A and B are shown apart, each in its own frame.
Chain A
Amino acid sequence: MGAGKTTAIASISDEPPVCTDVNCSGKEASLKQTTTVAMDYSYIQLEDGKRVHLYGTPGQERFNFMWNILTQGGIGLVLLINNDHDEPVQQMDRYLDHFRDFINETGVVIGITRMGIADQASLEEYQTRLLQRGQIYPVFEVDGRCEPDVKVLVYALLAVLDAHSGAL
Protein backbone atom coordinates (compact mmCIF):
# COMPACT_ATOMS: atom_id res chain seq x y z
CA MET A 1 0.00 0.00 0.00
CA GLY A 2 1.20 3.50 -0.80
CA ALA A 3 3.66 2.39 -3.45
CA GLY A 4 2.20 4.79 -6.01
CA LYS A 5 0.30 2.46 -8.34
CA THR A 6 -2.44 4.97 -9.14
CA THR A 7 0.09 7.73 -9.78
CA ALA A 8 2.28 5.47 -11.90
CA ILE A 9 -0.64 4.44 -14.11
CA ALA A 10 -1.68 8.07 -14.45
CA SER A 11 1.83 9.09 -15.51
CA ILE A 12 1.84 6.94 -18.66
CA SER A 13 -1.82 6.38 -19.59
CA ASP A 14 -3.82 8.24 -22.21
CA GLU A 15 -6.66 9.05 -19.83
CA PRO A 16 -6.68 9.73 -16.08
CA PRO A 17 -7.21 6.37 -14.37
CA VAL A 18 -10.60 5.26 -13.20
CA CYS A 19 -9.98 4.79 -9.49
CA THR A 20 -11.74 3.09 -6.64
CA ASP A 21 -10.00 5.04 -3.91
CA VAL A 22 -11.59 5.49 -0.50
CA ASN A 23 -10.43 7.30 2.62
CA CYS A 24 -8.17 5.21 4.81
CA SER A 25 -9.19 4.31 8.31
CA GLY A 26 -7.43 2.83 11.34
CA LYS A 27 -3.65 2.34 11.10
CA GLU A 28 -3.63 2.95 7.35
CA ALA A 29 -4.90 6.49 7.85
CA SER A 30 -1.55 7.46 9.36
CA LEU A 31 0.24 6.25 6.22
CA LYS A 32 -1.86 7.82 3.48
CA GLN A 33 -5.15 9.61 2.98
CA THR A 34 -6.78 7.30 0.46
CA THR A 35 -6.24 3.78 -0.79
CA THR A 36 -7.39 1.70 -3.73
CA VAL A 37 -9.98 -0.93 -2.79
CA ALA A 38 -10.79 -2.64 -6.07
CA MET A 39 -8.62 -1.51 -8.94
CA ASP A 40 -7.28 1.38 -10.97
CA TYR A 41 -7.79 1.25 -14.69
CA SER A 42 -6.62 3.16 -17.70
CA TYR A 43 -5.14 2.39 -21.10
CA ILE A 44 -2.55 3.28 -23.70
CA GLN A 45 -3.82 3.47 -27.26
CA LEU A 46 -1.47 2.07 -29.89
CA GLU A 47 -0.93 3.39 -33.43
CA ASP A 48 -3.34 0.80 -34.90
CA GLY A 49 -6.12 1.75 -32.50
CA LYS A 50 -5.62 -1.26 -30.22
CA ARG A 51 -5.45 -0.59 -26.52
CA VAL A 52 -3.10 -1.90 -23.87
CA HIS A 53 -5.10 -1.94 -20.67
CA LEU A 54 -3.40 -0.98 -17.43
CA TYR A 55 -4.81 -2.33 -14.19
CA GLY A 56 -3.59 -1.55 -10.70
CA THR A 57 -4.56 -3.94 -7.97
CA PRO A 58 -4.79 -3.01 -4.30
CA GLY A 59 -1.78 -4.13 -2.33
CA GLN A 60 -3.37 -5.27 0.92
CA GLU A 61 -3.77 -9.03 1.48
CA ARG A 62 -7.47 -8.67 2.14
CA PHE A 63 -7.96 -7.67 -1.50
CA ASN A 64 -6.04 -10.64 -2.89
CA PHE A 65 -9.18 -11.98 -4.56
CA MET A 66 -8.71 -9.09 -7.04
CA TRP A 67 -5.15 -10.11 -7.84
CA ASN A 68 -6.10 -13.29 -9.66
CA ILE A 69 -9.05 -11.67 -11.41
CA LEU A 70 -6.95 -8.85 -12.83
CA THR A 71 -4.07 -11.03 -14.01
CA GLN A 72 -6.32 -13.10 -16.25
CA GLY A 73 -5.32 -12.27 -19.81
CA GLY A 74 -2.51 -10.05 -18.58
CA ILE A 75 0.72 -9.83 -20.56
CA GLY A 76 3.05 -8.80 -17.75
CA LEU A 77 3.37 -7.58 -14.19
CA VAL A 78 4.87 -4.40 -12.77
CA LEU A 79 5.34 -4.86 -9.04
CA LEU A 80 5.69 -1.63 -7.06
CA ILE A 81 7.06 -1.99 -3.54
CA ASN A 82 6.79 0.85 -1.03
CA ASN A 83 10.15 1.05 0.71
CA ASP A 84 8.53 3.09 3.46
CA HIS A 85 6.65 0.04 4.77
CA ASP A 86 7.83 -2.31 7.48
CA GLU A 87 9.65 -5.30 5.99
CA PRO A 88 9.38 -4.30 2.31
CA VAL A 89 11.70 -7.12 1.16
CA GLN A 90 9.40 -9.69 2.76
CA GLN A 91 6.50 -7.93 1.10
CA MET A 92 8.23 -8.44 -2.27
CA ASP A 93 8.62 -12.13 -1.38
CA ARG A 94 4.93 -12.47 -0.69
CA TYR A 95 3.88 -10.89 -3.98
CA LEU A 96 6.42 -12.88 -6.00
CA ASP A 97 5.15 -16.08 -4.35
CA HIS A 98 1.54 -15.22 -4.99
CA PHE A 99 2.11 -14.30 -8.65
CA ARG A 100 4.66 -17.07 -9.33
CA ASP A 101 2.65 -18.81 -12.05
CA PHE A 102 1.64 -15.62 -13.78
CA ILE A 103 5.25 -14.38 -13.72
CA ASN A 104 6.55 -17.67 -15.15
CA GLU A 105 4.06 -17.44 -17.99
CA THR A 106 4.70 -13.76 -18.70
CA GLY A 107 7.28 -11.61 -16.93
CA VAL A 108 7.78 -9.18 -14.09
CA VAL A 109 9.66 -6.00 -13.35
CA ILE A 110 10.02 -4.59 -9.84
CA GLY A 111 10.00 -0.90 -8.96
CA ILE A 112 10.96 0.24 -5.48
CA THR A 113 9.35 3.54 -4.54
CA ARG A 114 10.02 6.05 -1.75
CA MET A 115 13.66 5.02 -1.52
CA GLY A 116 14.74 8.63 -1.11
CA ILE A 117 12.75 9.13 2.06
CA ALA A 118 12.84 5.69 3.62
CA ASP A 119 15.77 3.42 4.32
CA GLN A 120 14.00 0.22 5.34
CA ALA A 121 15.95 -1.61 2.65
CA SER A 122 18.57 -0.74 0.04
CA LEU A 123 18.33 -1.72 -3.61
CA GLU A 124 21.14 -4.21 -2.95
CA GLU A 125 19.00 -5.94 -0.33
CA TYR A 126 16.23 -6.48 -2.87
CA GLN A 127 18.76 -7.72 -5.41
CA THR A 128 20.36 -10.05 -2.87
CA ARG A 129 16.96 -11.46 -1.98
CA LEU A 130 16.19 -12.13 -5.64
CA LEU A 131 19.57 -13.84 -5.97
CA GLN A 132 18.73 -16.03 -2.97
CA ARG A 133 15.42 -16.90 -4.59
CA GLY A 134 17.24 -17.79 -7.83
CA GLN A 135 15.21 -15.23 -9.76
CA ILE A 136 16.73 -12.79 -12.21
CA TYR A 137 14.21 -9.97 -12.35
CA PRO A 138 14.82 -6.32 -13.15
CA VAL A 139 14.60 -4.17 -10.04
CA PHE A 140 14.79 -0.37 -10.10
CA GLU A 141 14.41 2.57 -7.82
CA VAL A 142 11.49 4.56 -9.21
CA ASP A 143 9.42 7.59 -8.45
CA GLY A 144 5.85 6.84 -9.50
CA ARG A 145 5.21 10.55 -10.00
CA CYS A 146 7.95 10.73 -12.58
CA GLU A 147 6.90 9.68 -16.09
CA PRO A 148 10.43 8.78 -17.32
CA ASP A 149 10.90 6.45 -14.34
CA VAL A 150 7.64 4.64 -15.05
CA LYS A 151 8.50 4.41 -18.75
CA VAL A 152 11.86 2.84 -17.95
CA LEU A 153 10.04 0.29 -15.83
CA VAL A 154 7.62 -0.51 -18.63
CA TYR A 155 10.43 -0.70 -21.18
CA ALA A 156 12.28 -3.21 -19.00
CA LEU A 157 9.11 -5.28 -18.82
CA LEU A 158 8.76 -5.15 -22.60
CA ALA A 159 12.36 -6.34 -22.99
CA VAL A 160 11.67 -9.21 -20.59
CA LEU A 161 8.46 -10.15 -22.41
CA ASP A 162 10.22 -9.97 -25.76
CA ALA A 163 12.99 -12.28 -24.54
CA HIS A 164 10.30 -14.62 -23.22
CA SER A 165 8.32 -14.59 -26.45
CA GLY A 166 11.15 -16.33 -28.26
CA ALA A 167 12.72 -13.45 -30.12
CA LEU A 168 15.79 -15.65 -30.60
Chain B
Amino acid sequence: MAKIDGNLAISMVGLDELDQRVLRVAVGLLSDDGVNYQLLAKNNAASQLVVIDVDTEKGKKHLFQENENQLTLLLGSSTCLAKNHVAMAKPIRVSSLKELLEKVHQRLRSTPAPPIVVPREEEQVVPLPVMEDTLFEVLYRAKQQKQIVKLNCDRDAEIFINGVNGTVAANEKSHRALDKLLKLTSCTLVVSDLSATEFESVIDHCVVSALDACLWKAGVSCPKGIILSGHSMDAAVKLKAWPGFTRHDFKPEYFKIAAILARHAISLNRLVEALKVPKVEIINFYNAAYAVGLIDVVGEAKNAPLSTAASEAKPVSKPSAVSSSIFGKLARRLGFNV
Protein backbone atom coordinates (compact mmCIF):
# COMPACT_ATOMS: atom_id res chain seq x y z
CA MET B 1 0.00 0.00 0.00
CA ALA B 2 1.26 3.47 -0.83
CA LYS B 3 2.70 5.77 1.80
CA ILE B 4 0.99 9.09 2.12
CA ASP B 5 2.60 12.43 2.91
CA GLY B 6 -0.37 14.75 2.87
CA ASN B 7 -4.08 14.37 2.45
CA LEU B 8 -5.59 10.94 2.28
CA ALA B 9 -8.37 10.70 -0.27
CA ILE B 10 -11.57 8.89 0.65
CA SER B 11 -14.27 7.72 -1.70
CA MET B 12 -17.56 6.11 -0.74
CA VAL B 13 -19.80 3.51 -2.26
CA GLY B 14 -23.41 2.77 -1.33
CA LEU B 15 -23.58 4.99 1.75
CA ASP B 16 -27.00 6.41 2.55
CA GLU B 17 -27.44 10.12 3.18
CA LEU B 18 -27.12 9.84 6.95
CA ASP B 19 -23.91 7.81 6.83
CA GLN B 20 -22.48 10.25 4.30
CA ARG B 21 -23.15 13.06 6.76
CA VAL B 22 -21.56 11.07 9.58
CA LEU B 23 -18.48 10.57 7.40
CA ARG B 24 -18.35 14.25 6.46
CA VAL B 25 -18.60 15.35 10.10
CA ALA B 26 -15.91 12.86 11.17
CA VAL B 27 -13.58 14.08 8.41
CA GLY B 28 -14.30 17.69 9.40
CA LEU B 29 -13.46 17.01 13.04
CA LEU B 30 -10.25 15.22 12.04
CA SER B 31 -9.28 18.20 9.96
CA ASP B 32 -9.68 20.42 13.05
CA ASP B 33 -7.24 18.06 14.80
CA GLY B 34 -4.74 18.37 11.95
CA VAL B 35 -5.51 14.95 10.44
CA ASN B 36 -6.24 15.73 6.82
CA TYR B 37 -8.55 13.69 4.68
CA GLN B 38 -10.01 14.70 1.39
CA LEU B 39 -13.51 13.44 0.73
CA LEU B 40 -13.92 12.76 -2.98
CA ALA B 41 -17.11 13.42 -4.88
CA LYS B 42 -19.45 10.52 -5.56
CA ASN B 43 -18.30 8.11 -8.26
CA ASN B 44 -14.68 9.27 -7.94
CA ALA B 45 -12.89 6.08 -7.00
CA ALA B 46 -9.31 7.42 -7.20
CA SER B 47 -8.77 7.24 -3.48
CA GLN B 48 -6.46 5.52 -1.02
CA LEU B 49 -9.40 4.60 1.20
CA VAL B 50 -12.83 3.55 0.01
CA VAL B 51 -15.75 3.32 2.43
CA ILE B 52 -18.31 0.74 1.33
CA ASP B 53 -21.74 -0.04 2.72
CA VAL B 54 -21.81 -3.78 2.11
CA ASP B 55 -25.51 -3.99 2.96
CA THR B 56 -26.31 -2.34 -0.38
CA GLU B 57 -26.22 -3.96 -3.80
CA LYS B 58 -23.88 -1.25 -5.04
CA GLY B 59 -21.55 -1.89 -2.13
CA LYS B 60 -21.56 -5.67 -2.59
CA LYS B 61 -20.80 -5.27 -6.28
CA HIS B 62 -17.89 -2.92 -5.58
CA LEU B 63 -16.46 -5.31 -3.02
CA PHE B 64 -15.45 -7.72 -5.74
CA GLN B 65 -13.55 -5.07 -7.66
CA GLU B 66 -10.28 -5.68 -5.79
CA ASN B 67 -7.75 -2.86 -5.83
CA GLU B 68 -4.48 -3.72 -4.11
CA ASN B 69 -3.54 -0.07 -3.65
CA GLN B 70 -6.73 0.80 -1.93
CA LEU B 71 -7.66 0.19 1.69
CA THR B 72 -11.30 -0.69 2.19
CA LEU B 73 -13.49 0.28 5.12
CA LEU B 74 -16.55 -1.94 5.20
CA LEU B 75 -19.73 -0.78 6.89
CA GLY B 76 -22.38 -3.37 7.48
CA SER B 77 -24.81 -4.96 9.89
CA SER B 78 -22.51 -7.97 10.08
CA THR B 79 -18.87 -7.43 9.30
CA CYS B 80 -15.78 -9.54 8.97
CA LEU B 81 -12.11 -8.73 8.65
CA ALA B 82 -10.11 -9.61 5.60
CA LYS B 83 -6.84 -8.59 3.94
CA ASN B 84 -6.75 -4.83 3.29
CA HIS B 85 -10.17 -4.47 4.87
CA VAL B 86 -11.20 -2.55 7.95
CA ALA B 87 -14.68 -3.31 9.16
CA MET B 88 -17.14 -1.38 11.26
CA ALA B 89 -20.60 -2.43 12.38
CA LYS B 90 -23.54 -0.19 11.57
CA PRO B 91 -24.98 2.06 12.80
CA ILE B 92 -21.81 4.12 12.60
CA ARG B 93 -21.20 6.98 14.98
CA VAL B 94 -19.12 10.08 14.39
CA SER B 95 -16.86 9.47 17.40
CA SER B 96 -16.02 5.85 16.59
CA LEU B 97 -15.58 6.56 12.87
CA LYS B 98 -13.32 9.51 13.64
CA GLU B 99 -11.22 7.34 15.94
CA LEU B 100 -10.93 4.63 13.31
CA LEU B 101 -10.02 7.06 10.51
CA GLU B 102 -7.36 8.56 12.75
CA LYS B 103 -5.79 5.14 13.25
CA VAL B 104 -5.99 4.40 9.54
CA HIS B 105 -4.28 7.71 8.79
CA GLN B 106 -1.49 7.00 11.27
CA ARG B 107 -0.90 3.53 9.85
CA LEU B 108 -0.94 4.64 6.25
CA ARG B 109 1.50 7.45 6.91
CA SER B 110 4.12 5.15 8.35
CA THR B 111 4.12 1.64 7.00
CA PRO B 112 2.08 -0.87 5.03
CA ALA B 113 -0.85 -1.51 7.27
CA PRO B 114 -1.66 -4.84 8.80
CA PRO B 115 -5.38 -5.54 9.17
CA ILE B 116 -6.77 -3.12 11.71
CA VAL B 117 -9.02 -4.37 14.44
CA VAL B 118 -11.66 -1.92 15.55
CA PRO B 119 -11.23 -1.44 19.31
CA ARG B 120 -14.05 -2.70 21.45
CA GLU B 121 -15.83 0.03 23.35
CA GLU B 122 -14.97 -1.45 26.72
CA GLU B 123 -11.41 -2.66 26.88
CA GLN B 124 -10.39 -5.02 29.59
CA VAL B 125 -9.11 -3.14 32.61
CA VAL B 126 -6.06 -4.56 34.35
CA PRO B 127 -5.85 -3.72 38.05
CA LEU B 128 -2.60 -2.16 39.17
CA PRO B 129 -0.94 -2.86 42.51
CA VAL B 130 -0.61 -0.71 45.63
CA MET B 131 -2.73 2.31 46.40
CA GLU B 132 -1.58 5.42 48.19
CA ASP B 133 -4.63 7.49 47.46
CA THR B 134 -7.44 7.11 44.98
CA LEU B 135 -7.59 9.12 41.80
CA PHE B 136 -11.04 10.30 42.86
CA GLU B 137 -9.65 11.77 46.07
CA VAL B 138 -6.86 13.56 44.23
CA LEU B 139 -9.31 15.04 41.70
CA TYR B 140 -11.84 15.97 44.38
CA ARG B 141 -9.21 17.63 46.55
CA ALA B 142 -7.97 19.62 43.55
CA LYS B 143 -11.50 20.82 42.83
CA GLN B 144 -12.38 21.62 46.44
CA GLN B 145 -9.12 23.34 47.33
CA LYS B 146 -8.63 24.86 43.88
CA GLN B 147 -5.27 23.16 43.51
CA ILE B 148 -3.22 22.96 40.34
CA VAL B 149 -1.26 19.73 40.39
CA LYS B 150 0.66 17.29 38.25
CA LEU B 151 -0.22 13.67 38.70
CA ASN B 152 2.15 10.88 37.75
CA CYS B 153 0.58 7.47 37.56
CA ASP B 154 1.66 4.00 36.65
CA ARG B 155 2.50 3.36 33.01
CA ASP B 156 4.22 6.78 32.73
CA ALA B 157 0.94 8.64 32.43
CA GLU B 158 1.28 12.30 33.32
CA ILE B 159 -1.90 14.22 34.03
CA PHE B 160 -2.33 17.90 34.83
CA ILE B 161 -5.28 18.90 37.00
CA ASN B 162 -6.46 22.47 37.32
CA GLY B 163 -8.98 22.87 40.12
CA VAL B 164 -9.22 26.60 39.42
CA ASN B 165 -10.65 26.41 35.92
CA GLY B 166 -12.01 22.86 36.23
CA THR B 167 -9.93 21.13 33.59
CA VAL B 168 -7.78 18.04 33.30
CA ALA B 169 -5.07 17.93 30.65
CA ALA B 170 -2.93 15.09 29.39
CA ASN B 171 -0.80 14.50 26.34
CA GLU B 172 -2.28 12.15 23.77
CA LYS B 173 -0.64 9.05 25.22
CA SER B 174 -1.58 9.93 28.79
CA HIS B 175 -5.07 10.93 27.71
CA ARG B 176 -5.60 7.45 26.29
CA ALA B 177 -4.37 6.07 29.61
CA LEU B 178 -6.58 8.46 31.59
CA ASP B 179 -9.80 6.73 30.68
CA LYS B 180 -8.38 3.45 31.90
CA LEU B 181 -6.90 5.01 35.00
CA LEU B 182 -10.24 6.52 35.95
CA LYS B 183 -11.75 3.06 35.97
CA LEU B 184 -8.89 1.31 37.75
CA THR B 185 -9.54 0.15 41.26
CA SER B 186 -6.10 1.24 42.40
CA CYS B 187 -2.85 2.67 41.11
CA THR B 188 0.26 4.35 42.43
CA LEU B 189 -0.10 8.11 42.30
CA VAL B 190 2.51 10.80 42.81
CA VAL B 191 1.11 14.31 43.15
CA SER B 192 3.15 17.50 42.85
CA ASP B 193 2.12 21.16 42.86
CA LEU B 194 2.18 23.32 39.74
CA SER B 195 1.80 27.05 39.27
CA ALA B 196 -0.84 28.45 36.90
CA THR B 197 1.95 29.50 34.53
CA GLU B 198 3.47 26.03 34.53
CA PHE B 199 0.03 24.55 33.83
CA GLU B 200 -0.49 26.87 30.86
CA SER B 201 2.93 26.04 29.47
CA VAL B 202 2.39 22.29 29.48
CA ILE B 203 -1.13 22.05 28.09
CA ASP B 204 -0.36 23.29 24.58
CA HIS B 205 -0.13 19.81 23.13
CA CYS B 206 -2.54 18.21 25.54
CA VAL B 207 -6.05 16.89 25.25
CA VAL B 208 -8.17 18.83 27.74
CA SER B 209 -11.18 17.30 29.52
CA ALA B 210 -13.67 18.65 32.04
CA LEU B 211 -12.62 17.95 35.63
CA ASP B 212 -16.23 17.09 36.53
CA ALA B 213 -16.40 14.40 33.84
CA CYS B 214 -13.21 12.81 35.21
CA LEU B 215 -14.47 13.15 38.78
CA TRP B 216 -17.68 11.34 37.89
CA LYS B 217 -15.88 8.43 36.22
CA ALA B 218 -13.33 8.14 39.01
CA GLY B 219 -16.01 8.45 41.71
CA VAL B 220 -18.24 5.66 40.48
CA SER B 221 -15.23 3.38 40.01
CA CYS B 222 -13.71 4.07 43.42
CA PRO B 223 -12.96 0.85 45.29
CA LYS B 224 -13.26 2.16 48.82
CA GLY B 225 -17.00 2.55 49.32
CA ILE B 226 -16.37 5.16 52.03
CA ILE B 227 -18.57 8.21 52.14
CA LEU B 228 -16.88 11.59 51.67
CA SER B 229 -15.33 13.00 54.79
CA GLY B 230 -17.81 15.09 56.79
CA HIS B 231 -20.86 13.55 55.11
CA SER B 232 -23.44 11.36 56.80
CA MET B 233 -25.31 8.24 55.76
CA ASP B 234 -28.24 9.58 57.78
CA ALA B 235 -28.60 12.95 56.08
CA ALA B 236 -31.52 13.35 53.70
CA VAL B 237 -30.16 14.05 50.23
CA LYS B 238 -31.69 14.74 46.86
CA LEU B 239 -30.47 15.09 43.28
CA LYS B 240 -30.46 18.58 41.74
CA ALA B 241 -30.28 17.19 38.20
CA TRP B 242 -30.06 13.81 36.51
CA PRO B 243 -26.40 12.81 36.05
CA GLY B 244 -25.06 13.01 32.51
CA PHE B 245 -24.78 9.27 32.00
CA THR B 246 -23.39 8.29 28.65
CA ARG B 247 -24.16 5.11 26.77
CA HIS B 248 -20.77 3.83 27.88
CA ASP B 249 -21.35 3.98 31.61
CA PHE B 250 -24.75 2.37 31.77
CA LYS B 251 -25.22 0.66 35.10
CA PRO B 252 -28.79 -0.32 36.05
CA GLU B 253 -28.10 0.29 39.76
CA TYR B 254 -27.24 3.93 39.12
CA PHE B 255 -30.47 4.48 37.23
CA LYS B 256 -32.42 3.12 40.19
CA ILE B 257 -30.52 5.34 42.64
CA ALA B 258 -30.86 8.41 40.41
CA ALA B 259 -34.59 7.82 39.89
CA ILE B 260 -35.23 7.67 43.65
CA LEU B 261 -32.98 10.63 44.52
CA ALA B 262 -34.53 12.69 41.72
CA ARG B 263 -37.92 12.25 43.31
CA HIS B 264 -37.30 11.97 47.05
CA ALA B 265 -35.06 13.43 49.74
CA ILE B 266 -33.84 10.32 51.50
CA SER B 267 -30.88 9.18 53.58
CA LEU B 268 -28.34 6.84 52.06
CA ASN B 269 -28.98 4.31 54.84
CA ARG B 270 -32.65 4.22 53.87
CA LEU B 271 -31.70 3.92 50.23
CA VAL B 272 -29.51 0.89 50.99
CA GLU B 273 -32.47 -0.81 52.70
CA ALA B 274 -34.99 0.10 50.02
CA LEU B 275 -33.11 -0.62 46.83
CA LYS B 276 -31.18 -3.76 47.66
CA VAL B 277 -28.26 -2.28 45.76
CA PRO B 278 -24.79 -2.92 47.27
CA LYS B 279 -23.86 -0.19 49.75
CA VAL B 280 -20.58 0.48 47.96
CA GLU B 281 -22.47 1.36 44.76
CA ILE B 282 -24.76 3.77 46.59
CA ILE B 283 -21.83 5.47 48.32
CA ASN B 284 -19.82 5.71 45.09
CA PHE B 285 -22.80 7.19 43.28
CA TYR B 286 -23.33 9.69 46.10
CA ASN B 287 -19.64 10.67 46.27
CA ALA B 288 -19.43 11.15 42.50
CA ALA B 289 -22.72 13.06 42.30
CA TYR B 290 -21.78 15.29 45.25
CA ALA B 291 -18.33 15.97 43.82
CA VAL B 292 -19.79 17.24 40.54
CA GLY B 293 -22.38 19.38 42.31
CA LEU B 294 -25.49 17.30 41.69
CA ILE B 295 -26.50 16.70 45.32
CA ASP B 296 -28.53 18.82 47.70
CA VAL B 297 -28.04 17.87 51.33
CA VAL B 298 -31.45 18.57 52.82
CA GLY B 299 -30.49 17.84 56.45
CA GLU B 300 -30.27 15.12 59.07
CA ALA B 301 -33.21 12.89 58.50
CA LYS B 302 -32.78 9.62 60.33
CA ASN B 303 -36.06 7.71 60.08
CA ALA B 304 -37.73 10.76 58.57
CA PRO B 305 -40.53 10.11 56.12
CA LEU B 306 -39.78 10.58 52.46
CA SER B 307 -40.14 14.12 51.29
CA THR B 308 -41.14 14.84 47.73
CA ALA B 309 -39.96 17.78 45.69
CA ALA B 310 -42.21 20.83 45.75
CA SER B 311 -42.48 20.74 41.99
CA GLU B 312 -43.94 17.29 42.23
CA ALA B 313 -46.09 17.92 45.30
CA LYS B 314 -49.26 17.73 43.25
CA PRO B 315 -51.13 14.53 44.11
CA VAL B 316 -50.46 11.92 41.52
CA SER B 317 -52.19 8.72 40.65
CA LYS B 318 -49.64 6.06 41.43
CA PRO B 319 -49.41 3.10 39.14
CA SER B 320 -50.75 -0.03 40.78
CA ALA B 321 -48.75 -3.01 41.98
CA VAL B 322 -49.68 -4.64 38.68
CA SER B 323 -47.86 -1.87 36.82
CA SER B 324 -44.91 -2.30 39.14
CA SER B 325 -44.59 -5.94 38.26
CA ILE B 326 -44.95 -5.09 34.58
CA PHE B 327 -41.89 -2.84 34.90
CA GLY B 328 -39.89 -5.77 36.25
CA LYS B 329 -41.10 -8.12 33.54
CA LEU B 330 -40.42 -5.57 30.83
CA ALA B 331 -36.93 -4.93 32.17
CA ARG B 332 -36.19 -8.66 32.19
CA ARG B 333 -37.68 -9.01 28.71
CA LEU B 334 -35.29 -6.32 27.46
CA GLY B 335 -32.39 -8.23 28.96
CA PHE B 336 -31.76 -6.18 32.10
CA ASN B 337 -30.82 -8.03 35.23
CA VAL B 338 -33.33 -6.77 37.81
Contact = CB atoms under 8 A, between A and B. Distances in A.
B242 A137 contact: yes
B311 A163 contact: no
B263 A141 contact: no
B124 interface: no
B256 interface: yes
B317 A50 contact: no
Given A116-B25, A116-B94, A148 B247 contact: yes
B130 interface: no
Contacts of B244: 123-124, 127, 139
Interface residues of A, number: 49
B296 to A, nearest CB: 11
A159 B312 CA distance: 17
B329 A167 contact: no
A105 B317 contact: yes
* Interface size range on B against A: 35 or more
A105 B323 CA distance: 13
B94 A138 contact: no
Nearest to A109: B242
Contacts of A143: 91, 93
B306 interface: yes
B241 A130 contact: yes
A13 to B, nearest CB: 11
A131 B327 contact: no
B247 A141 contact: yes
Contacts of B275: 167
B274 A44 contact: no
B324 A142 contact: no
B316 A105 contact: yes
A159 B335 contact: no
A118 B99 CA distance: 18
Given A46-B329, A155-B331, A168-B306, A161 B323 contact: yes
A134 interface: yes
B21 A75 contact: no
Nearest to B90: A145
B64 interface: no
Contacts of B312: 104
Contact of B319 (A48, A149, A161): A161
Contacts of B335: 151
A47 interface: yes
B255 A134 contact: no
A138 B327 contact: no
A135 interface: yes
Given A117-B25, A136-B262, A127 B241 contact: yes
Nearest to B311: A134
B126 interface: no
Interface string B259-273: 110111010001000
Contacts of B196: none
Contact of B247 (A50, A136, A149): A149
Contacts of A139: 242, 244
A143 B96 CA distance: 13
A162 B256 contact: yes
Contacts of B259: 138, 156, 159-160, 162-163
B258 to A, nearest CB: 7
Given A116-B22, A127-B242, A163-B262, A47 B318 contact: no
Contacts of A158: 327, 330-331, 336
A138 B242 contact: yes
A78 B259 CA distance: 15
B130 to A, nearest CB: 36
Nearest 6 Cβ contacts at the A-B interface? A116-B94, A163-B259, A159-B259, A145-B91, A159-B255, A136-B262
24 contacts: A44-B334, A105-B316, A105-B317, A106-B319, A116-B93, A116-B94, A117-B25, A127-B241, A137-B242, A140-B246, A141-B246, A143-B93, A148-B247, A154-B330, A155-B334, A159-B255, A161-B327, A162-B324, A163-B256, A164-B319, A165-B318, A165-B319, A165-B327, A167-B324
Given A105-B316, A138-B245, A138-B259, 15 more contacts: A46-B326, A46-B329, A48-B329, A136-B262, A141-B246, A143-B93, A145-B91, A156-B259, A158-B327, A162-B259, A163-B256, A164-B316, A167-B324, A168-B266, A168-B306
Interface of A: 12, 44-48, 50, 52, 75, 104-106, 116-117, 123-124, 127, 130-131, 134-143, 145-146, 148-149, 151-152, 154-156, 158-168
